[in-house]
Structure 1
């Protein structure tokens, strides 16, 4: 783990929960690319208001990343890379873009589905652009639910 703040938080978590000492080091994630959105959404996760996040399946495939695994941990960082909390993945579902619900958008930290769609359309556009791809209404979204376990 390269992020010092995240490494420190993970060490503190393991001290409090030694039963997870053999667990693989978690990935560190920042919600969105700009500092304001990252700060806002990391605070929502810290306050347990945000209990979900979303990924583009196509983006993960092009970057050759692994799919989020149920039971694994993530360290959420703010817009400056400071660790805010540790979360554990509860579920991960593949859903077409057009099937995302208002309820899910609220769990992902948004006031409504329109706001969620506008934000993620822009975010996925930036992520897919280097691969010559663009978001589509039929694209698959990885809908991840999590719970804050530390921080």
Structure 2
């Protein structure tokens, strides 16, 4: 992804949603693989995925700022193309074992159950964690809820 591509995308989004700030938000893709990025993006665009979870240890290892309520993000596909804008609505940090069934359902993965969420995320952090700590049963998990800002949900083509 180039800065020019992101700037062009942001100008187009702001023309459709004029109350957005001039500054281009952080751009990133879900997951650790191209397939995962596209699959999770599809869940966001369809309205199924309204939450995500991150390892606090990964943020610390990378030296990245953790998201806060009100933050905007541009979501990229596997090719690095901007496809959506989300706004973080809530952020909670809880131990892995205290992530709720409601949050697991909001993530939209697997069969939407807490058991599936635990299996999927344990495997993800064991295989893809940026922190040398990887996964632990009591690790701190950043549970983020978000809303789709663009494309506007009413404008999303359900046949795409």
Identify whether the pair has TM-score above 0.5, normalized to the shorter chain: yes
* TM-score normalized by the length of structure 1: 0.87
Query: Structure 1 residue 4: deviation in Å?
Result: 5.2
Shift of 1:5: 4.5
RMSD: 2.0
Equivalenced residue count is 149
1:116 and 2:90 equivalent?
no
Alignment correspondent of 2:95: 96
Secondary structure, in 3 states, of the residue corresponding to 1:20?
coil
CA distance in 2, matches of 1:34, 1:140: 23
2:112 is aligned with 1:135? no
Gaps of 5+ in 1: none
1:121 CA drift (Å):
1.5
- Name the structure 1 match of 2:157: none
Aligned residue for 2:68? Answer: 69
- Which whole-Å CA distance do the structure 2 matches of 1:108 and 1:37 have between them? 13
Q: Superposition pairs for residues 2-151 of structure 1, below 5 Å?
A: 2=2, 5-22=5-22, 24-110=23-109, 111=111, 112-128=113-129, 131-151=131-151
CA gap of 1:45–1:69, structure 2 versus 1, over 3 A, is same
Q: TM-score, normalised by structure 2?
A: 0.82
The 1-side partners of 2:114 and 2:93 are apart by 18
Single out whichever of 77-86 and 135-144 deviates more from structure 2: 77-86
Deviation at 1:108, TM superposition (A): 0.5
CA distance in 1, matches of 2:58, 2:75: 20
Structure 2 stretches lacking a partner, 5+ long: 152-160
Using the alignment, how far apart are the partners of 1:8 and 1:102 within structure 2? 39
Deviation at 1:102, TM superposition (A): 2.2
Q: Work out the CA distance in 1 between the residues paired with 2:39 and 2:134.
A: 26
8 Å Cα contact 2:57-2:131 kept in structure 1: no
